Every structure is written in structure tokens, then in C-alpha cells.
């Protein structure tokens, strides 16, 4: 669990210490620049899935909240990477 927190913090700190952090966060990939909001939503959803790990497994009996947490965290990372690509790669 410590590794996933480190990776999340590494990505977030890189975004915050980039040359123009507000431009990255406001550039978004959804209408109205909602990309950063979607990153936060997926991250919070991942934390909720982590918290209710056993309850989710008891209800579904197929997959645990822990496994679903990894999928949600991957979605948050995907949105963050997409924001970086749109800002720094595709805009050139």
C-alpha cells in the first residue's frame, strides 16, 4: 500500500511543480476543463472502494473492492496522462 501512495504522490507532485501547474489542471480533456475534476473523482472512488473492500466482495462474490480500487486508480492515472499529453505533446 505504501508504494501506491508514493506513486500517486509522485504524479501529483510532478503536476504541481511543473512550469505551469494551473494550466495543466485547467486544460482538462472534458468540456469546460473538467479533466482535473475527473482525476479527483476517480481517485476518491478508488479510496471508497479500498475502504469497503470486504463488503464489496461479500456482496458481489466475484471481485474485491481492492481489485476494483486498482482499476479506479488506473482510470485516474489515465486521465492525468491524457491531460499531460494534450497540454505538452498534442498541442505542438
Total domain count, the chain:
1
Structural domain range at position 80: 2-89
Question: Would you state the pLDDT for residue 31?
Answer: 44
Q: What confidence tens digit (pLDDT) does each residue in 33-75 have?
A: 567 888 888 999 999 999 999 999 999 999 999 999 999 999 9
DSSP string, 23-72: HHHHH-SSTTT-HHHHHHHHHHHHHHHHHTHHHHHHHHSSS-HHHHHHHH
**Whole-structure pTM value:** 0.62
Amino acid at each position: 500500500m505504501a508504494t501506491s501512495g508514493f506513486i500517486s504522490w509522485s504524479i501529483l507532485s510532478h503536476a504541481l511543480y511543473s512550469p505551469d501547474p494551473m494550466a495543466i489542471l485547467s486544460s482538462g480533456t472534458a468540456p469546460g476543463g473538467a479533466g482535473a475534476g475527473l482525476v479527483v473523482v476517480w481517485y476518491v472512488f478508488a479510496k471508497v472502494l479500498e475502504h469497503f473492500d470486504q463488503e464489496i466482495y461479500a456482496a458481489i462474490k466475484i471481485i474485491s473492492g481492492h481489485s476494483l480500487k486498482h482499476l479506479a486508480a488506473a482510470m485516474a492515472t489515465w486521465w492525468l496522462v491524457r491531460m499531460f499529453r494534450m497540454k505538452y505533446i498534442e498541442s505542438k
